[in-house]
Amino acid sequence: MINIFENKKIRPRKTKIICTIGPATKTEKILKKMIDEGMNIARFNFSHGSQQEFEAWAKIIRILAKKAKKKVEIIQDLQGPRVRVGKMNHEGRHVEIHHEAILSFGKNMRRNDIPILSDIEVLVKGGNTIMIDSGLIELKVKKVANERIFCKVIVGGPVFSGKGLNFPDTQTADSFTKKDEDDLAFGLKIGVDFVALSFVEEAKDITNLTEKIAGKAKVISKIERPQAIYNFQGILDVSDAVMIARGDLGIEIPIEKLPMLQKRILRRCKQSHKPGIVATDMMASMVTSPRPTRAEVLDVSNAVLDGASAVMLSNESAVGKYPVETLIMMRKIIEETETFLEHQELKSLL
C-alpha cells in the first residue's frame, strides 16, 4: 500500500510560476524573497502602473536574479482595447432588472446615461450582450443611436466608475491600441523577454505584433474572447506561447464551459510543443487569507496534471496581503503534483 504522507525527494520543478508585480511586491526585500522562493517569471501588467515603475522593477529583478544565480524572465502584458465606465455622478447607481439603461460614448450624454470611456470603436448592434464589472451586470442592446446604446437590463446591480465592459458578441476594431504601441516600444527598450497581447481574435493580430517586435521578444497570445476560440489553431500556429486568461474568458463565454475548454487548449498546446499558461484566480482567496481554499489547491494541481507549462498569480502577488506565502503554497502544490506524476502514484491512487 502506498503511503501518501511519506517524504519524497523533490525534483527540479518543471511547471513555471509567473508572478504579477505590483504594490505588494515592489520592494527589493519582497522581490528577493519571491526569487528565492521560486518565481520564474515576473509579469508587468501595463493596465496598471507607470513605465518608470516597470523600469525600476526590471532593474531590481535582474540584479537580484543574477546574485541568486537564477533565471527570472519578464512578461510585458499589454493592456489591449479596454472599455470602461467613465466618472459616475453617483457611485454605485443601481440599474434595475427589466428597466432601460443607456450607455453614452459621446457628447450627447444625458443626465441618467452611463458614461463610457473607450480607446477603440465599439461596433454593437441590437441583440448584442454587454457585460459590466466582470459580468455582474448584464445588458441586452435594443438599439444604437447618436453615440448612445439603449439596453434592457437582464441582470441588475450597482454601477461604479472605472469598471470594465465586455462585448462577447462583438468583434473589436483592433486588438492593438496607441497605448499598446507606446508601451511596446518602452518594453522592448528595457528588454522584456515576452510580450502578451490582450483580446486576441485571429492570427493576424499576432503576426502584426510579431512584425513590430522584430525578434526582440517572444509573443504570448491571451485567449479571452470567443473569437479566439473559433480561430484557435491559427493563433496557436503563429504564437510562441498561449495564455488561458480565465478572467475575461469566463465572462465572454458561458462559465460552465471553461474547465473543459482549458483542458482542450492545454492539450492542443502540448501537441504543438507550445507552452500553455493558466491564469486568473488560481489562489484568489489568498489575496486576503494566509491559506488557500481546497478548491484552489485542486485547481493548481489540475492545471499541472493537464500539462500547463506555467501557472500565474495575478492579484494574489500584485496587491494581496500574502504574496510570498501564496507563491510558496503554489510551489508546494506543483512540486507535490509533479512528484506524483513522476512516480506514477496518481494512477495507483485512482
State how far the Cα of 175 lies from the Cα of 113, in Å rounded to an integer: 27
The single-letter code of the amino acid at 116 is I
Place of cell 434592457: 152
- Supply the residues annotated as catalytic: 43, 84, 222, 280
Provide the 3-class DSSP secondary structure of residue 184.
helix
Q: Which distant-in-sequence residues (6+ apart) come within 8 Å of 251 by Cβ?
A: 131, 134, 135, 166, 168
Cell of 187: 518594453
What is the DSSP annotation of 71-97? --EEEEE---S-EEE---SSTTEEEPT
∠313-314-317 over CA atoms, to 5°?
Answer: 70
Burial label for 78, CB within 10 Å (0-12, 13-18, 19+), is buried
State how far the Cα of 187 lies from the Cα of 225, in Å rounded to an integer: 25
Cell of 211: 512584425
Place of cell 461596433: 123
State how far the Cα of 232 lies from the Cα of 335, in Å rounded to an integer: 30
Cell of 47: 493596465
Q: What are phi and psi of 159, to 5 degrees?
A: -110, 130
Helices 323-343 and 294-305 meet at what angle, rounded to 10?
Answer: 50
Q: How many CB atoms lie within 10 A of CB 98?
A: 8
The answer to whether the beta carbons of residues 80 and 180 sit under 8 Å apart is yes
The single-letter code of the amino acid at 157 is G
Q: Identify the bridge partners of residue 242 per DSSP, sorted by sequence position.
A: 221, 276
Cell of 43: 509579469
